[in-house]
Amino acid sequence: MPAPRPRFEGDFASAAMLRVLRQGLLDLGLPPPPPGPPVQGAVVSLDGKRAVLAHALQVGGLACLPLLGQGLHRFTHEPTHSALAAARDAQDLLQRWGRLERYIHSRHRVRLLSLSATGVDLAHVALQPHPAPLPAEDLVVLGVLLALLQACGYQDLSCTVGVAAAYPQPDAQALEQACARGHSAQWHIRWTRLLPQAEKAAPAARATSPHTAQDLVRDEPWPGWIKQAYGLVATRLPAPLDLDALAHALGQSRRSLQRGLKEAGLGFRPLQAEARYRTAGWHLMQGDAALAEIGFLCGYADQSHFTREFRLRSGLTPADFRREFGVG
């Protein structure tokens, strides 16, 4: 049975999720979609979302979609990922996920049906009057939640969609039948155990307590010299480091630096914005400094600039982010 043709009636992902899906394709050995226009902020245009999802269906079919969320493990220091992965257990994770859905006004929501010591049953639904999520939308969100459960310490995860195996070994034919019957939003996730807090402490500490600025981009698939450039920009905050000074510190010409950043899908200003955002996210989660102080330390022009830019990239204001995800 051929995979259902995708229909695109609404949003299904943020910019962060699209980065995860691209990485997930690479990890599966599948070709990623051609690079689109540079993304600014937390929201991607509908055309950009359509292109990535349609490409994934074309090169991997429905069966690849629940696996794409594994790309999330490459972004452990992205602030929103850190905030979700810091959950104590599945119930805490789903509560955090629900808060994020509400803050970004998502038209689709994950509903908890049942929770036990060995598993959880979930449904992916739409708020009225919006149409139900598409099967492909269901499967990519499921894949991200599975990766987050792994990040929280759940071991030996397995999942069925309806009665079709979706993870870790998707049954392509059964998934297609489940989607055709309208069962793609019914998720049954099981695990063998949750790692004790003591066993989770070491990786959690590495993820949330960076020794250097470059630790916050350790998992990015960037060339080493770009991670070095990021570190130089981040460690100079709040003082701005201009393009010429960065090029000199890296032993490059201004033009070579600009060309290299462009080839990596970046630019000098986006690199500065990334450094401000990630550093701010770490301070908001880990410390108790005042918001105005964090904005200053991270190089934002003023409090309104901090609030506007952080919300653009994460979907939450700094105050909301700290209230929901701060460790204190």
Element (H, E) at 121: strand 119-126
Q: pLDDT per position in the chain (328 positions), as tens?
A: 334 433 333 344 467 778 889 999 999 999 988 876 665 555 566 677 778 888 999 999 999 999 999 999 888 767 677 778 878 899 989 988 887 777 667 789 999 999 999 999 999 999 989 889 899 999 999 999 999 999 999 999 999 999 999 999 999 999 999 999 999 999 999 999 998 865 664 333 333 444 566 678 877 778 899 999 999 998 888 777 899 999 999 999 999 999 999 988 889 999 999 999 999 998 898 877 788 878 887 888 888 899 999 998 888 899 999 988 886 5
CA–CA dist 227, 249 (Å, integer)? 13
pLDDT at 2: 39
Q: In which residue are the tokens 């991997």 written? A: 60
The amino acid at residue 228 is Q
Question: What separation in angstroms does the CA of 70 have from each of 28, 95, 147, 246?
Answer: 9, 21, 5, 34
Instruction: Give the pLDDT confidence score for residue 53 in this predicted structure.
Output: 86
In terms of DSSP H, where are the helices of the chain? 15-27, 46-60, 79-85, 90-103, 135-151, 172-180, 197-208, 224-235, 243-250, 254-263, 268-286, 291-297, 303-314, 318-325
The whole-model pTM stands at 0.69
- Cα–Cα distances (Å) from 256 to 93, 229, 230, 245, in that order, read 44, 13, 16, 13
pLDDT at 11: 44
